[in-house]
Amino acid sequence: MAKNKISLIGGGQIGGNLALLAAQKELGDVIIFDIPKAEGMVKGKALDLMQLRPHDGYDVTITGSSDYKDIADSDVIIITAGIPRKPGMDREDLLGINLGIMKDVAENVKKHAPNAFVIVISNPLDAMVYAFHKVSGFAKNKVVGMAGALDSGRFRAFIAMETGFSVQDVTCMVLGGHGDTMVPITRLATVGGVPVTALISSERLKAIEDRTRVAGGEIVKLFGNGSAFYAPAQSAIEMAESYLRDKKRVIPCASLCEGEFGVEGYFIGVPSVIGAGGVEKVLEFDLTSEEQAELNNTLEAVEKTIGETGL
Ligand code: APR
């Protein structure tokens, strides 16, 4: 059976970790693509990962490239091309630079890998995935943004840290845009099926929600130069794996909504089923009026950023 091919557009901090995780999971052969200026860096990373193979035993090939021809016929494309935040910046502050990059990437992916399932990570996420979809003309089920997976993971991590119980048993979701207006759905969060509201005081839960909303910024401040990369990479790999192995996992993702949750024509974080058909379904459920109001608020923020793209 031919191996799958996973191309990573952008081979920086997240890109390098994506390559490592994709290889370790043997998801397929990996191409790490970056601009010519960074060709040595991605070729070096690829070689280093090839030399990690004897220790891990993964039988896939990792190649660095700055030639778009090398992404031909990819099954999965994961895009991190762009610049990350510096302290004091919102994700929206990246729009000017990253939009131009995303348009270029979308044209090239359309040309060289028209059948790929595309996962966008670059920020501001909801606008970047919208831009990719608009410029590439890809079907809506083949384009998705990685945000809710990460935001929900952060929420899970904080609940596990608060309770001291296994993170494995914490289930929760964060909906909406990948910004400070995101909507943690605390009402449905559980630890092993037990509602978190029975385990954690409402004051502490509120603090955990607030920390979740700015969790990316907390790391940006600590780094001083750059943003999170381990958890973002793993979150996207989970999505890629669910597609390639047709697992039909239910993951909060920035999917194109056409009426779901009252959202029309925008990519926003909603529970999505990812399988061989890409984003196979958005799972809609009743929100409380307060949650719906928060979702409307996050949608306004997303609409505003997309308005600025002129697309
Ligand atoms: N095509 C391909 N790659 C590009 C392009 C382009 N036109 N322009 C820039 N890049 C590459 C850079 O050369 C760099 O190697 O994108 C890579 C980005 O890597 P980092 O700067 O290390 O950023 P990273 O931490 O990986 O984050 C990437 O994801 O989470 C978001 O906000 C984050 O927008 C940022 C993106």
pLDDT, one tens digit per residue, over 147-175 is: 999 999 999 999 999 999 999 999 999 99
For ligand 1, mutation pick of 9, 14, 65 (most atoms within 8 Å of CB)? 14
150/207 Cα distance (integer angstroms):
18
List average pLDDT for each run of 10 residues in the chain, which is 311 residues long: 93 98 97 98 98 94 98 98 92 94 98 98 97 98 97 98 98 95 97 98 98 97 96 98 98 98 97 98 98 96 94 91
CA 12 to ligand 1 centroid distance, Å: 6
Is 94's C-beta closer than 6 angstroms to any atom of ligand 1? yes
131/142 Cα distance (integer angstroms):
14
- Whether residue 158 sits in one domain with residue 120: no
CA 202 to ligand 1 centroid distance, Å: 38
Task: Ligand 1, residue 94: give the atom nearest the CA.
Answer: 34
- Whether residue 152 sits in one domain with residue 141: no
| Helix, strand, coil fractions of the chain, as percent rounded to 5 | 50, 20, 30
- Whether residue 92 sits in one domain with residue 10: yes
- Whether residue 164 sits in one domain with residue 139: no
Q: Any idea what DSSP says for residue 83?
A: -
pTM (global) more than 0.95: yes
Is 92's C-beta closer than 6 angstroms to any atom of ligand 1? no
- Whether residue 301 sits in one domain with residue 245: yes
Between the CA of residue 286 and those of 177, 261, 289, 290, what are the distances in Å? 18, 8, 9, 11
Alpha carbon distance, N-terminus to C-terminus of the chain = 41
- Whether residue 83 sits in one domain with residue 214: no
Q: Which of 94, 110, 145 is the last residue of a domain?
A: 145
Identify the CA nearest to 66 among candidates 93, 96, 104, 100.
104
Is 231's C-beta closer than 6 angstroms to any atom of ligand 1? no
Is 80's C-beta closer than 6 angstroms to any atom of ligand 1? yes
Q: Which of 145, 171, 204 is the last residue of a domain?
A: 145
- Whether residue 155 sits in one domain with residue 22: no
Identify the CA nearest to 124 among candidates 161, 164, 88, 82.
82
- Whether residue 161 sits in one domain with residue 292: yes
CATH number, domain with residue 300: 3.90.110.10
275/292 Cα distance (integer angstroms):
27
**Full domain range(s) for residue 121:** 5-145
Closest C-alpha to ligand 1, atom 28: 80
Residue 178 annotated to the active site: yes
Is 77's C-beta closer than 6 angstroms to any atom of ligand 1? no
Overall domain count for the chain: 2
- Whether residue 117 sits in one domain with residue 228: no
Is 10's C-beta closer than 6 angstroms to any atom of ligand 1? yes
- Whether residue 280 sits in one domain with residue 218: yes
Is 85's C-beta closer than 6 angstroms to any atom of ligand 1? yes
- Whether residue 111 sits in one domain with residue 219: no
CA 125 to ligand 1 centroid distance, Å: 13
Is 82's C-beta closer than 6 angstroms to any atom of ligand 1? yes
CA 16 to ligand 1 centroid distance, Å: 11
Q: What pLDDT, on the 0 to 100 scale, is given for residue 13?
A: 98
Q: What pLDDT, on the 0 to 100 scale, is given for residue 2?
A: 81
Instruction: State the catalytic residue, choosing from 55, 112, 133, 178.
Output: 178
Give the helix ranges, DSSP H, for the chain: 13-24, 39-56, 95-112, 125-136, 148-163, 202-213, 215-223, 230-244, 289-309
Q: What pLDDT, on the 0 to 100 scale, is given for residue 57?
A: 93
Closest C-alpha to ligand 1, atom 27: 84
Task: Ligand 1, residue 41: give the atom nearest the CA.
Answer: 15
